[in-house]
Amino acid sequence: MRLDHLLIASAVCVGLAGCGSKADPVLLGTLEWDRIALPAEASEPVLTLAVKEGDQVGAGQLLLTLDGRRMDAKLAQAQAQVAQQQAQLAELVHGARSEQLDAARAALASAQAGRIEADKQFRRQADLAAKQLVARATLDTARATRDRADAQVATAEAQLRELTHGTRVEQVEQAEAALAAAKSARDEIQLNRSKLDVRAPRAGRIDALPFKPGDQPPINASVASLLVGDAPYARVFVPASQRAGLRDGEKFLVRAKGIDHDLAAHLRSVASEPAFTPYYALTGDDASRLVYRAELVIDAIDGKTLPAGLPVEARPAQ
């Protein structure tokens, strides 16, 4: 009789165990950090590295320096162009100097004297031609010389009027526009020059420095990679059947490969568009289904030291 009671009790326990709730589903993924890649603004050799991989850096801290000699030469040329445009604008605004006016008046007086002399020569040759004492070609030469002298006087008078009346408004505006363009070109080169000193845009940890001193990275190649943010996050993949039940801020427990305890985390976001199941999440029937990428921010303080790329498993916190 006692044996029968034990068998019945065992059957009840097994039945209760079979009727219990299923274990919470495990979400698979990897541990990640927000990452910033810093590109090379110019294809110049790396001169120095101020940090090494794994270092913690602050915002604005110098990471590495690219050779700036080529950019310095371009900057000097741009600054000279600005100075030239400033001088031309000042000349137009202030007008001609007294020495220029004196030279223009002297040139006009010389042209007028030459015209008087040419006119006398023409008249003399005309009288001789009337008496048929000189050839017709000589008279034509004297006439051309007189006309040329008249043109020289007109040119000298126009130049003197230009210096006397001052600069037109349109000329000043053109000079101001040329100066503004030269300053913009200089400022752009100055900005590019400053970016040859690569600095951290945010506080974080150096993840990678792919180039060493002497290497010449191509333009826009990543010369430094930073892991930033207050904590890492687990990037996991949620089956469509569980997507509707997730809410922002929901608590999870995350177990990272090589860590012997669970890490507290909360749901930050879930992608609105589904994706195909990644290879490491291919389990059972889910292998042919779409999943949604989710991000679980690690709340534990010791999560700040965890490296990126660790495989993780996440389950809802009880």
Note the pLDDT tens digit of each residue in 212-268: 999 999 999 999 999 988 888 989 988 887 888 888 889 999 988 888 888 889 999
Looking at the predicted structure, is the pLDDT value of residue 303 above 80? Answer: no
One domain, residues 163 and 209: no
One domain, residues 209 and 288: yes
Last residue of a domain, one of 165, 189, 213: 189
Supply the pTM of this predicted model.
Answer: 0.58
CATH of the domain at 282: 2.40.30.170
One domain, residues 61 and 79: no
Q: SS3 sequence, 138-171?
A: HHHHHHHHHHHHHHHHHHHHHHHHHHHHCCCHHH
Looking at the predicted structure, is the pLDDT value of residue 178 above 70? Answer: yes
Task: Calculate the alpha carbon distances from 15 to 1, 24, 144, 250, 275 in Å.
Answer: 21, 20, 130, 32, 39
Last residue of a domain, one of 129, 158, 189: 189
Residue 179 forms part of a structural domain: yes
Instruction: Tell me the HSE value of 19 on the side-chain side, using a 13 A CA sphere.
Output: 6
One domain, residues 79 and 36: no
Residue 6 forms part of a structural domain: no
One domain, residues 174 and 219: no
CA 145 remoteness from chain centre = 65
Give the number of domains in the chain: 2
One domain, residues 141 and 231: no
Residue 15 forms part of a structural domain: no
Comparing 210 with 165, the larger pLDDT belongs to 210
Residues 6+ apart with CB under 8 A from 112: 153, 156
Residue 107 forms part of a structural domain: yes
The encoded tokens of residue 220 equal 């826009």
One domain, residues 229 and 256: yes
Looking at the predicted structure, is the pLDDT value of residue 21 above 70? Answer: no
Give the model's confidence band at 80: pLDDT under 50 very low, under 70 low, under 90 confident, else very high. very high
Residue 272 forms part of a structural domain: yes
For 167, the domain range is 73-189
Residue 296 forms part of a structural domain: yes
Residue 197 forms part of a structural domain: no
> Angle, to 10 degrees, between the axis of helix 69-94 and the axis of helix 169-194?
160
- Give the pLDDT of residue 36: 93
One domain, residues 61 and 88: no
One domain, residues 90 and 179: yes
One domain, residues 44 and 105: no
One domain, residues 83 and 180: yes
Last residue of a domain, one of 156, 189, 222: 189
One domain, residues 87 and 46: no
- Give the pLDDT of residue 7: 32
Residue 18 forms part of a structural domain: no
User: 227-265 burial by CB neighbour count: b if 16+ within 10 A, else e?
Assistant: bbbebbbbbbbbbeeebeebeeeeebbbbbeebeebbeb
